[in-house]
Structure 1
Amino acid sequence: MRLTVVHSALLFDGHSVHENATVVFDSDGGRITAVSTGSSTAPFPSGATIIDGKGHSLLPGLIESHAHVHGLHLPPGSDQSDILRSPLRSGVTTVCDMHSDPDSVHKWREEIADELAKARSSKGTVTLSDLKSSLYGATIEGGWPKPIVLGPHPSDELKSFVSTWPNVTVESAPEFVKNHQANGADYIKLMQENCCSLALPTGAIPVATLELQTAVVKAAHAAGLPVVGHALSVDMTEVVLKAGADGLTHTFIDQPPPQSIIDLYRQTGAFVIPTLTVLSSLTAELQDVREKFAEIAGRKEIVNDFTKQNMVEVIGMKDPAAQLDYAFQTVAKLKQEGIDVVAGTDAVAGLKGTAIGPSLWMELELYVEKCGMSVPEALNAATALPAKRFGFNDRGVVAEGKRADLVLVKGDVTARLQALWEDEGIVVVWKEGVPAAL
C-alpha cells in the first residue's frame, strides 16, 4: 500500500464545501482510505507522500458526460493520441462516449488498462482519462447521424464504415441491447432527429418512432442499463421523454421552453446534458468565449495547434429560427424546477468549436454565467451528479472507498470557477490514485 495524504485543503466533495480537509488515498489500490475535516493532531501514516493543500481546492475528477472518442472528424492520417490525453490534463478523469465504433472503444480501453498497470509497477504517471461508452447509438436505416457523417461526397471507405452501424427496429431492439451489453456498453444511446433545428429540411431523414424508442428503452432497462437520447428540438425531446429515457444528451434550440416539456421532465425524472458548447458552434454564437478557451488550452499545451484552431471554428448549420438563448432559458428553467442538469459538451476530435477537455471548462462557465447556476452547482453537474445518474457508483465524490480520481487546484475554485483554468490552475490530477502527466 502506497499512501498519499493531501492536507489543509478546501474540499469540494461533489456535493458540499469543507474547509481544512485531509484526504488519504492508496496509489496501489486506487481508492480513498480516509476523509476528515477540521483540525486534527493525529499523525500522518508512516511512509506516506504528504502534500500541503493550503491555498488549494481538492475536488473529484471531472466527468465529461457527452463526447465521442472516434476520429471521423479528423483529417485522414491524423494523430489521435490526444483524444483522451487532453481531457485528463483538463481535470477530466472520466469521459462518457456517446456514439463510437466498438473497435475504437475497445482499443482505448486496452490502452487505458495497460498504461495504468505500467504506471503502478514503475511508480510512473498516466496520460489517459477513463472511458465509459454507449458504443454505437441505436441508429436506424438512413437516420441520424448517418447522412451528416457521410456528407455530400462520401468515400467508399466511409460508406463501408457507416454501413456497419445498427439499423435497429422494434423487433431487433432486445437483441441490439443484449449485444451492446455483452460488448461492454455502459448505457444505451437513442437517436431522435428530424432536422427542424438544423439547416436541413425538416423530415429530410428517416425519424425513429416512439414505438421503436420505447422498445429500446424497455429492453435496456430490463438489462439494467441507463438510456439517454439525442434530440435538438422540442418535439423530438418529447418523444425521447415519453419513451422513458433516463436523460437527454442535448437541450433544444428551436423555441423557448414550453411548460409542457418542463412538466414532462418532472414527471419522468429525466435529466439533461445541455451541450451548450456544441450548440454555440452550431448556431455560430459566443465566438469570443471560444477564442478565450482556445487560447488558454493552447498556452497550457493541453491541445495541439490543429485542435486550437479547430476550437475557434464553427459548425454554423442552424435553422434560421434556432437560438442559443433558448438553450440558456431551458437550462435555467429546468434547474429552477429541480431537474438534474449534467455537464457534457458533445466534444469530438476535429468537430468545429470543440476539444475534449477544455470544452468542459467552457460548458461549466456558461452554466454559471448564462444559466444562473452557482459555482458549486456547476461543479456538482460535472462530478457527483453524472456519477449518480449514470450509476457510476465508484466515482464522482470524495469519500472513503471511492476511486481516488482527484483534482488539486490553486485557489478557491468553489468561489471562482475560473481558478480551474486561469493562472496556475490545475496543479495535480490523480486517476485511481496515480498522478497524471500534466
Structure 2
Amino acid sequence: MGATVIKSVRLFDGNEVYPTSTVTFDGESGTIISVDTSSSGADVPQDAEVIDGSGHTLLPGLIDAHVHVHALHLPHDADHSQVLRMPLRCGVTTICDMHSDPETIHKFRADIKDEVAHVRKSNGKVTLSDLKSSLYGATIEGGWPKPIVLAHDPTEELKAIVKTWPSLTPETATDFIASHKSDGADYIKLMQENCCSLALPTNSIPVASLELQTSVVKAAHDAGLLVVGHATSRESTEIVLKSGANGLTHTFIDQSPTEDIVPLYKENNAFVIPTLVILSSLTNELQDLREKFAEIASSKFGIDDFTKQNMVEYLGMKAPQCSIEHAYETIRMCRKHGVDVIAGTDSAGGLKGSGVGPSLWMELGLYVSECGMSVVEALKAATSVTARRFSFNDRGVVEKGRRADLVLVKGNPTERLEDLWEGGIAGVWKQGLRAV
C-alpha cells in the first residue's frame, strides 16, 4: 500500500491555517510522513496517489468528545454499527464514549481493529470511527442515569442490564478504578445529577456525595487516568469541580453563570464540554436547527426514517427555569477567562434530538453563532484542544509522525464553517486509509 499525497491544499493543522500545503501520509503505517507548508511543494514518493487539493481545505479528523455508543435507545432491529459509521462519513474520526457497557466497547474495538487489518490487505475502505471510552460511569445505587433509563422502558431485560452497573461507595472507589483501567477504560466518568435542571423533583433520586467523587478522582489520578463528570446544574457542577475532576461533560442550564464559578475551573485547570445539542433537546429549543441538520443528514447519507425522525424530536424534560441561553452565557464566560472548551454533543443512537456525526456540525455552528468563538477556535475545540486535554497524543493535529486522520473539505471551512456540511466532504482518511 503506497503513500498518498494531497498537494496545493489549504491546511488547518489543528492550530494554524496555511494557504498552500502538501501533506504526505501512508496507509500501511497509518501516519503522516511529511507536511510542507511552503508554496514550492514537496517531493512526491514513487507510486504515491496524488490528489489535487486546489479549492479544498485539509483538516485533522474531528473528535466528538461526548457520545454514547450503547444500544439502549435503539429499536431491537436497528443497525447498531451506525453509531460508528455515520460519524466517519461526517469527518468525525474519533468518538469519545461517556458511559456504555464494556461488552459493547470491546466488540466495537475488535471490529475497528479487524477492519483496519482487512483494508490494509484488500485496499478497500474503512467505515468505522475510532473509539475511546470510559466504559461504565461511576454510578451509585439508584443514581443517575439508572432511574431515567428504567423510566423510558422498564422491561425485565433492561432492569437486568441496569442491575449490572456499578453501585459505588467511597470504600469501593479504588477497586472500581483498578478494574476499569485493566478493562481498557481511557478515562473515568463521574455522574453528578440532582435533577434540579430536569422535570423531576430536586434530589428525587440518590445523589453522589463530594466524599465519593473525591475518592474516585483521587484513585483515578493515582492510576494515571483523567476524570470528567456529568452535571447539568450549577450545584452539581461545583461538586464535580471541587472533587478535583479534570473537566465537565456538560455545562449547566438551570441559571446564569456568575464569576465565582471561574476559580473552581481554574483551580483544577478544568475544561468544559458544552453539549449544546442535547441540552437544547432537553429544553425543547433550537427546533429549526434540529430539522435543518436532519434534512442535511437525510440528503447526504440517506438515513432511515427512524434516524431522521429521532433527530428532529426532542427530550423536553427541563425544569421551568432552565434555558439554553444559560449554557451560552457560561461558555462565553469560560472563554473570556481562558477555560478550555471542547466540542461534544452527548449524541447517541436513538437519543431524541441527536444524530452521532451530524450533531457535531450543529454543535460547532452554535459555538460560532452563540458563544463568540471564531471559526478556527471552534475547529480547534474539535481537534487539537480535545487531543491535548485528553492526552490523545497521536491525533488532533496534522504533523509528521501523527496518525493520518484527515478530512478534505470543499471550500474554506476555516472562514465559513458551513462549508463542512454545505460545500461537502471530499475525502476522509483514518490511519491513512480511505473512508469517503
Q: TM-score, structure 1 length as denominator? A: 0.98
Q: Which residue type is aligned with residue 377 of structure 1? A: E
Alignment of 1:266-281 (within 5 A): 266-281=266-281
Q: 2:262 is aligned with what amino acid?
A: I
Shift of 1:2: 1.6
Aligned counterpart, 1:107: 107
AA aligned opposite 2:243: A
Residue identity opposite 2:188 in structure 1: I
Shift of 1:48: 0.7
In structure 2, how many angstroms separate the alpha carbons of the residues matched to 1:287 and 1:260?
Answer: 32
Which SS does the other structure have where 1:237 is aligned?
helix
Aligned to 1:222: 222
Matches within 5 A, 1:346-365: 346-365=346-365
Which amino acid letter does the alignment assign opposite residue 428 of structure 1? G
Q: Distance in 2 between matches of 1:192 and 1:161?
A: 21
**Whole-Å separation in 2 of the counterparts to 1:48 and 1:335:** 43
Return the letter of the residue paired with 1:258: T
Secondary structure, counterpart of 2:46 in structure 1: coil
SS in 1 for 2:309: helix
- Once the two structures are superposed, residues 402-424 of structure 1 have per-residue CA deviations (whole angstroms, 9 ceiling, x without a partner) of 0000000000110000000004x
* 1:429 corresponding residue in structure 2: 428
Instruction: Decide whether aligned partners of structure 1 residues 302 and 5 sit closer, same or farther in structure 2, where only a CA change above 3 A counts.
Output: farther
Are the counterparts in 2 of residues 293 and 358 from structure 1 also a CA contact under 8 Å? Answer: yes
CA distance in 1 between partners of 2:283 and 2:229 (Å): 21
- 2:58–2:408 CA contact under 8 A, matched in 1: yes
Q: Which moved more, 1:51-60 or 1:293-302?
A: 293-302
Structure 1 residue 319 and structure 2 residue 319: aligned? yes
Counterpart of 1:85 in structure 2 is 85
- The 8 Å contact of residues 22 and 41 in structure 2, kept in 1 or not, is answered as no
What's the CA shift string for 1:111-132, capped at 9, x where partnerless? 1011111011001100000000
Cα separation, partners in 2 of 1:152 and 1:89, compared to 1, 3 Å: closer
- Paired residue type of 2:90: S
- Secondary structure of the structure 2 residue equivalent to 1:84: helix
Contact map agreement 1:82 1:303 (CA 8 A) in 2: no
Q: CA RMSD in A?
A: 1.0
Q: Return closer, same or farther for 1:302/1:338 CA change in 2, 3 Å cut-off.
A: farther
Amino acid at match of 1:345: T
Give the Å deviation of 1:302.
5.8
Structure 2 distance, partners of 1:206, 1:342, is 29
Q: Secondary structure at the match of 2:88?
A: helix
Q: Which residue of 1 aligns with 2:61?
A: 61
- Range 52-61 or range 36-45, more displaced: 36-45
Question: How far 1:77 moved relative to its partner?
Answer: 2.8
The answer as to whether partners of 1:86 and 1:357 remain within 8 angstroms in 2 is yes
Compare 146-155 and 59-68 and name the one that shifted more: 146-155
Change (3 A) 1:41 1:226: closer
| Number of positions where the alignment pairs a residue of Structure 1 with one of Structure 2 | 436
Per-residue deviation, 1:152: 6.4
Counterparts of 1:170-185 in structure 2, within 5 Å, are 170-185=170-185
How far 1:41 sits from its partner (Å)? Answer: 5.7
Write the mapping of 1:289-328 to structure 2, written as runs, cut at 5 A: 289-301=289-301, 303-328=303-328
The answer on 1:47 being equivalent to 2:47 is yes
- Runs of 4 or more above 4 Å deviation: none
Task: Name the % identity.
Answer: 63
Alignment match, 1:206: 206
Counterpart of 2:258 in structure 1 is 258
The 8 Å contact of residues 241 and 264 in structure 1, kept in 2 or not, is answered as yes
Aligned residues of 2:22 and 2:37 also touching (Cα < 8 A): yes
Take 2:372 and 2:104, find their aligned partners in 1: how far apart are those partners?
A: 37
Superposition deviation, residue 42 in structure 1 = 4.6
Deviation at 1:27, TM superposition (A): 0.9
- Amino acid aligned to 1:35: V
Distance 1:411 1:198 in 2: 41
3-state SS, counterpart of residue 254 of structure 1 = coil
Where 2:170 maps in the other structure, the secondary structure is coil
Residue 141 of structure 1 corresponds to 141
SS of the residue corresponding to residue 65 of structure 2 reads: strand
Q: Write the distance in 2 (CA, Å) between the matches of 1:183 and 1:415.
A: 42
Any idea what SS the aligned residue of 1:151 has? helix
